[in-house]
Structure 1
């Protein structure tokens, strides 16, 4: 299941407005209409389509698609996108019929055909955007995995060297200052215990605790 982020929704809204403005400008030039009212109607229709797409996508992602078989998820999502485009276009048509923003003289049959075409366009663009967002998510996941692998490699290189030096220092400290040796061993045990449950992202307090244990081991072992 692919969740759309707020920033991505804003990009989609901008794209919808650009397409709405471009299509309305093209229609205005074909029919000799005034550009500004036609552009306003195009932006309004794009807004309707965007709002319906946003609502249906969020409802689908949160409550519907998780319960569906895998092979039905993409076709069902495309159907919702088509319906969003269709009913959004119908909303624009009915708004224009009510408030006479532009004098189109468009019969209902042609309005339905145009709305269906816009629905297909919405579904096609939705599928394209889905593929682009999926690719971006895959790249982000690959970067995250590479970062985790890099961190593990660094740990595997640093840990043996650190342990070797620390244990050598503790072996000498046991005879010189048993109390400090005991404190250093306890700090080392705490550090190793936390390292066993390594997470790529930890809280600031956990990071501070790790640094405290590390510094305590180093300072006691080298004293």
Structure 2
């Protein structure tokens, strides 16, 4: 449940906050009582450290094993109990450690340590309640942003160019009169292509996308009399990487659409690498006529927006050595991430 989700960095920040709060509070009390500021800082830091550790263990157990399985009306009481005991046992542990390493504690503290531990437990609950509200608001905000991004992606995917389908079906209709077996195979490939487009996944594996592209090029080659040559160099050690659906296919489609295939053979090469900077690079290179001033139409803008939403990625264009190169650069969230 999103409102119970506390990230590792949250616990790190909570422990750091606890240490700072404890050493400042305890150090201040020691100064007021004209005791050693250093000992006050040590005692306070130990309190903050152990309260943070107990909190992370107890609250994580509470959130994952108890609250998720019971009615919400019991949450506040159980949160109070677990937070109280995190502060209570954290204080007792710090007190015990100070006695072991000979850190002087305030007069009469040991005689009343359970009272002091109870006060610390109450303070822990109130501070934890404030932090919980902050984390809950943050989680709800992230959930809203994720849902908005998902809706935006669905809109972008719905804009994908349907012209390919119309052209492929027209080619199939013409092919029926010439080669019925080839027409049947083409229709089966179109069916497979459409089935892929209807998948409810925002991202698919690189292998799935490459199979998708090969199927697409096979269909297009029927239209262009086998004038398109596709070459794939996948240099990844494994293919457990996920990319936006249609991302490579769209660039291959772009290469086919903007070149005069009837006049000469078109070679398209796909090269996939993971560089030392940790980014994933996918280059789609063609040796067609190209164009010096590329304009990002609906398809390329669509791809650019999806890459940015999903990966903080981008698509760039270059023209060199009589080749047109479109490069997809994925900066994060591309490994083991098929949501």
Partner of 1:35: 37
C-alpha distance in structure 1 between counterparts of 2:123 and 2:217, whole Å: 61
Q: Secondary structure at the match of 2:204?
A: coil
Match of 2:26 among 24, 31, 37: 24
1:88 Cα offset (Å)? 1.0
C-alpha distance in structure 2 between counterparts of 1:33 and 1:213, whole Å: 79
C-alpha distance in structure 2 between counterparts of 1:193 and 1:93, whole Å: 66
Whether 2:163 is the aligned partner of 1:139: answer no
C-alpha distance in structure 1 between counterparts of 2:67 and 2:172, whole Å: 58
TM-aligned CA distance change 1:139 to 1:33, over 3 Å = same
Unaligned 5+ segments in structure 2 are: 226-339
1:169 Cα offset (Å)? 3.6
Partner of 2:14: 12
For CA contacts below 8 A with separation 6 or more, give which structure has more relative contact order.
Answer: 1
1:179 Cα offset (Å)? 5.5
Partner of 2:212: 210
TM-aligned CA distance change 1:197 to 1:35, over 3 Å = same
8 Å CA contact retained: 1:184, 1:221: no
TM-aligned CA distance change 1:217 to 1:26, over 3 Å = farther
Q: Cα RMSD between the aligned structures? A: 2.5
C-alpha distance in structure 2 between counterparts of 1:74 and 1:204, whole Å: 46
8 Å CA contact retained: 2:28, 2:37: no
TM-score by length of 2: 0.58
1:127 Cα offset (Å)? 1.9
Describe the superposition over 1:69-104 as per-residue Cα deviations: whole angstroms up to 9, x where unpaired: 221023212320111112211222233334430242
8 Å CA contact retained: 1:181, 1:221: no
How many residue pairs match? The answer is 223
1:49 Cα offset (Å)? 0.8
TM-aligned CA distance change 1:203 to 1:56, over 3 Å = same
8 Å CA contact retained: 2:15, 2:53: no
**Which residues in structure 2 correspond to 1:46-65 (within 5 Å)?**
46-65=48-67
Partner of 1:112: 114
TM-aligned CA distance change 1:25 to 1:218, over 3 Å = farther
1:175 Cα offset (Å)? 4.2
Bigger Cα displacement from structure 2, 91-100 vs 176-185: 176-185
Describe the superposition over 1:159-196 as per-residue Cα deviations: whole angstroms up to 9, x where unpaired: 54442333234333444665654443222211222233
C-alpha distance in structure 1 between counterparts of 2:131 and 2:182, whole Å: 62
C-alpha distance in structure 1 between counterparts of 2:73 and 2:48, whole Å: 30
C-alpha distance in structure 2 between counterparts of 1:194 and 1:45, whole Å: 57
Relative to its length, the structure with more helix (as a share) is 1
TM-score by length of 1: 0.85
C-alpha distance in structure 1 between counterparts of 2:142 and 2:221, whole Å: 39
**Which residues in structure 2 correspond to 1:47-196 (within 5 Å)?**
47-108=49-110, 110-158=112-160, 160-175=162-177, 181-196=183-198
Describe the superposition over 1:22-68 as per-residue Cα deviations: whole angstroms up to 9, x where unpaired: 11221222122222222122111111111211121222223222332
C-alpha distance in structure 2 between counterparts of 1:100 and 1:139, whole Å: 47
